[in-house]
């Protein structure tokens, strides 16, 4: 059983996939898998529409995004139902992640893209400043392929799409096969907002469709997903010599210092580990707590996890596991941990009271670094706690991983905690908060080690959807070029004297 299954189709017809609800296991729909031909056609439409879209003023492009924002506000309940049907996540999480965060991103970039992408004057140094003027202009790359995962099916499709569009690119979006109709919300909102035909395109499908997009005539791929697929995308982009951003998996550590406020830290551990059923790229996956406060911390965490309501109706805190493949990984990691000596304090198994795909909110301890639950991304509703001697040991263990997405440190001394956070080999880090950098659009976001390549969000992310083209203008109408040839011994001597002056004298070094 999976949440998405192949259907039999007539010979020559497009393949079809069936979708099943993780909440009820009932069939909820089907869709056709776009072929490589379909992808090619979508990219061609995007290519054709791109020059006119790029020629629009920022304010005009922003108008479409702002209109789509109003549609999202009006239709949020309808959209939330689509997300809940495909993912089974907690309703409040759908509102926070798939509506609130989307509105914030749409408004942030539509309001600020012009300022971030306006041409910049470069201040030149030394003798160059006497000879040349320079500026940088930000030109859209062209057609951007966006490939998105199932855990944040709207926001993770929308965030790169909005940035690419505001920068003047056109987009072909390929959402996950697990959540195709949630991903399609992004297309639907923009289409209803009247965005010109060909500017925003979508291809529904599976991995083959994603692979076809990486091989099509696109100018950049913005990929969010697993390390294994990220590697394939990077290889396809290398083959074509096009840039890509890879936002990949994580295994975020949390460090609880001796002087942490344990009530707050316990709450942070529970939110960080259970939010979005643990299917959160920056979810807290390993908690290192200093031994002297470990018992008190564990008690508080267990107490909080006991209060968690898991369900499929009404108000609840922890939703379903979004699909069977993830359930298999979670269960395998639990079995491996227990076999190697871990102790389950609460939860640890499927929730037998619910019909759908539910794993009980779990607290597990006595963990070691040879366990899969510590080495691999688990992506489940599990609070995994390890005792450490002191903060230095916590830091060493936090860095003992092939991942490097986020991290968080908890202490009453935020300066000390920040200093510790700076020493973690992660793309970003938070102090006294779960890792929520992705929700701060000003902050460049991206992974180190196997957690990714490149950064998204903020100025860095938005400019990544452009080619930064420097324009250098000669201050003297190009007259110096007349002096270039012939090369003579006298000119070589003059050059040597100039070098001695610029870098061999105090005044020269100051001026240069
Ligand atoms: P996958 O890598 O399995 O899939 C991601 C996307 O790539 C999907 O749309 C998938 O299509 C598509 N795809 C599959 N095969 C290929 C291929 N050969 N070429 C191109 N595209 C392909 O990831 P998941 O969907 O399982 O997402 C969960 C992962 O995403 C976790 O590791 C999580 O940590 C990570 N993630 C990272 C984030 C970050 O910002 N760093 C944010 C959120 C999630 P299909 O699903 O249809 O097969």
CA of 434 to the centre of ligand 1 (A): 23
CA of 230 to the centre of ligand 1 (A): 7
pLDDT per residue of the chain (512 residues) written in tens, 0 to 9: 567 888 877 777 889 999 999 999 999 999 999 999 999 999 999 999 999 999 999 999 999 999 999 999 999 999 999 999 999 999 999 999 999 999 999 999 999 999 999 999 999 999 999 999 999 999 999 999 999 999 999 999 999 999 999 999 999 999 999 999 999 999 999 999 999 999 999 999 999 999 999 999 999 999 999 999 999 999 999 999 999 999 999 999 999 999 999 999 999 999 999 999 999 999 999 999 999 999 999 999 999 999 999 988 899 999 999 999 999 999 999 999 999 999 999 999 999 999 999 999 999 999 999 999 999 999 999 999 999 999 999 999 999 999 999 999 999 999 999 999 999 999 999 999 988 899 999 999 999 999 999 999 999 999 999 999 999 999 999 999 999 999 999 999 999 999 999 999 999 999 99
CA of 225 to the centre of ligand 1 (A): 3
Give yes or no for residue 180 CB within 6 A of ligand 1.
no
CA of 182 to the centre of ligand 1 (A): 15
Give yes or no for residue 455 CB within 6 A of ligand 1.
no
The 10 Å CB-count burial string (b at 16+, else e) for 159-191 is bbbbbbbbbbbbbbbbbbbbbbbbbbbbbbbbb
Which of the listed residues 225, 230, 376, 380 should we mutate to test ligand 1's pocket, taking the one with most ligand atoms within 8 A of CB?
225
The β-bridge partners of 385 are 287
Nearest CA among 217, 58, 259, 247 for reference residue 155: 247
Measuring from atom 39 of ligand 1, which residue has the nearest CA? 247
CA of 307 to the centre of ligand 1 (A): 32
The β-bridge partners of 134 are 122, 472
Instruction: Retrieve residue 177's tokens.
Output: 């096969």
Give yes or no for residue 285 CB within 6 A of ligand 1.
no
Which of the listed residues 229, 251, 278, 279 should we mutate to test ligand 1's pocket, taking the one with most ligand atoms within 8 A of CB?
229
Which atom of ligand 1 approaches the CA of 250 most closely?
34
CA of 360 to the centre of ligand 1 (A): 25
Instruction: Retrieve residue 441's tokens.
Output: 């659009």
Nearest CA among 449, 444, 445 for reference residue 424: 449
Cα gap 227→206, rounded to integer Å: 17
Measuring from atom 21 of ligand 1, which residue has the nearest CA? 210
Give yes or no for residue 405 CB within 6 A of ligand 1.
yes
Give yes or no for residue 446 CB within 6 A of ligand 1.
no
Tell me whether residue 318 is exposed, middle or buried, using C-beta atoms within 10 angstroms of its C-beta: 0 to 12, 13 to 18, 19 or more: buried
CA of 229 to the centre of ligand 1 (A): 6
Give yes or no for residue 232 CB within 6 A of ligand 1.
yes
Cα gap 457→43, rounded to integer Å: 24
Tell me which residues are annotated as active site.
247, 281
Quote the DSSP letter at residue 129.
H
Kindly compute the dihedral angle of the four CA atoms of residues 31, 220, 195, 202, in this order, to the nearest 10 degrees.
0
Measuring from atom 5 of ligand 1, which residue has the nearest CA? 225
Rg (CA), the chain: 26
The reported pTM is 0.97
CA of 223 to the centre of ligand 1 (A): 8
User: Residue 8's pLDDT is what?
Assistant: 75
CA of 78 to the centre of ligand 1 (A): 25
CB 94 within 8 Å of CB 83: yes
Number of alpha carbons in the 13 Å side-chain half-sphere of residue 207: 9
Instruction: Retrieve residue 139's tokens.
Output: 């030109």
Which atom of ligand 1 approaches the CA of 377 most closely?
32
The β-bridge partners of 364 are 344, 384
Give yes or no for residue 237 CB within 6 A of ligand 1.
no
User: Residue 11's pLDDT is what?
Assistant: 74
Neighbours of 428 (CB within 10 A): 25
Give yes or no for residue 224 CB within 6 A of ligand 1.
yes
Give yes or no for residue 153 CB within 6 A of ligand 1.
no
Helix count and strand count (H, E) for the chain = 18, 19
Give yes or no for residue 156 CB within 6 A of ligand 1.
yes
The domains located in the chain, with CATH, are 34-248+458-467 (3.40.605.10), 252-446 (3.40.309.10), 484-511 (no CATH)
Give the β-pairing of 252-256 and 408-410. parallel
User: Residue 125's pLDDT is what?
Assistant: 97
Measuring from atom 15 of ligand 1, which residue has the nearest CA? 207
Helix H or strand E encompassing 383: strand 382-388
Task: Output the 3-class SS for 24-79.
Answer: CCCEEEEEECCCHHHHHHHHHHHHHHHHHHHHCCHHHHHHHHHHHHHHHHHHHHHH
CB-based contacts of 467, cutoff 8 Å, min separation 6: 138, 139, 140, 141
Which of the listed residues 149, 152, 186, 447 should we mutate to test ligand 1's pocket, taking the one with most ligand atoms within 8 A of CB?
149
Quote the DSSP letter at residue 503.
H
Give yes or no for residue 233 CB within 6 A of ligand 1.
yes
Nearest CA among 229, 231, 194, 201 for reference residue 217: 201
CB 159 within 8 Å of CB 149: no
């Amino acid at each position: 059983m999976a949440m998405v299954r192949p259907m039999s189709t007539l010979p020559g017809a497009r393949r079809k996939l069936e979708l099943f609800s993780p909440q009820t296991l009932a069939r909820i729909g089907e869709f056709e898998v776009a072929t490589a031909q379909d992808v090619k056609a979508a990219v061609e439409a995007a290519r054709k529409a791109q020059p006119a879209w790029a020629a629009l003023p920022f304010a005009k492009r922003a108008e479409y995004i702002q209109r789509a924002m109003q549609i999202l506000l009006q239709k949020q309940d309808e959209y939330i139902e689509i997300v809940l049907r495909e993912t089974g996540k907690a309703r409040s999480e759908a509102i926070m992640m798939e509506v609130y965060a989307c509105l914030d991103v749409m408004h942030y970039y539509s309001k600020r893209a012009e300022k971030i992408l306006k041409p910049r004057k470069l201040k030149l140094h030394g003798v160059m400043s006497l000879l040349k003027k320079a500026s940088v202009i930000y030109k859209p790359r062209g057609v951007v392929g966006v490939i998105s995962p199932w855990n944040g099916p709207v926001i993770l499709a929308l965030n790169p799409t909005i940035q690419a569009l505001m920068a003047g690119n056109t987009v072909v979006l390929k959402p996950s096969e697990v959540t195709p109709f949630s991903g399609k919300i992004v297309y639907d909102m923009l289409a209803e907002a009247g965005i010109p035909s060909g500017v925003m395109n979508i291809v529904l499908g599976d991995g083959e469709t994603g692979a076809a997009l990486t091989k099509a005539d696109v100018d950049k791929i913005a990929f969010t997903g697993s390390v294994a697929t990220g590697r394939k995308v990077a290889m396809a982009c290398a083959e074509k010599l096009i840039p890509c951003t890879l936002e990949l998996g994580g295994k975020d550590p949390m460090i609880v210092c001796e002087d942490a406020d344990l009530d707050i830290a316990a709450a942070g551990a529970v939110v960080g580990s259970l939010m979005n059923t643990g299917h959160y790229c920056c979810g807290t996956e390993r908690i290192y707590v200093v031994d002297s406060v470990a018992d008190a911390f564990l008690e508080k965490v267990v107490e909080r996890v006991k209060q968690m309501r898991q369900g499929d109706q009404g108000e609840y805190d922890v939703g379903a596991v979004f699909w069977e493949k993830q359930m298999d990984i979670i269960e395998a990691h639990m079995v491996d941990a227990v076999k190697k000596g871990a102790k389950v304090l609460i939860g640890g198994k499927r929730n037998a009271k619910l019909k759908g795909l539910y794993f009980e909110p779990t607290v597990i301890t006595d963990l070691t670094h040879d366990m899969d639950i510590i080495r691999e991304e688990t992506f489940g509703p599990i609070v995994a706690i390890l005792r450490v001697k002191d903060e230095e040991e916590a830091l060493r263990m936090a860095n003992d991983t092939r991942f490097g997405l986020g991290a968080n440190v908890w202490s009453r001394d935020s300066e000390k905690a920040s200093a510790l956070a700076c020493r973690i080999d992660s793309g970003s880090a938070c102090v006294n908060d779960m890792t929520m950098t992705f929700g701060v659009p000003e902050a460049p976001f991206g992974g180190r080690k196997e957690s990714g390549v490149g950064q998204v969000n903020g100025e860095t992310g938005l400019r990544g959807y452009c080619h930064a083209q420097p324009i250098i203008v000669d201050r003297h109408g190009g007259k110096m070029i007349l002096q270039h040839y012939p090369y003579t011994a006298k000119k070589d001597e003059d050059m040597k004297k100039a070098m001695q002056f610029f870098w061999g004298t105090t005044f020269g070094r100051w001026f240069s």
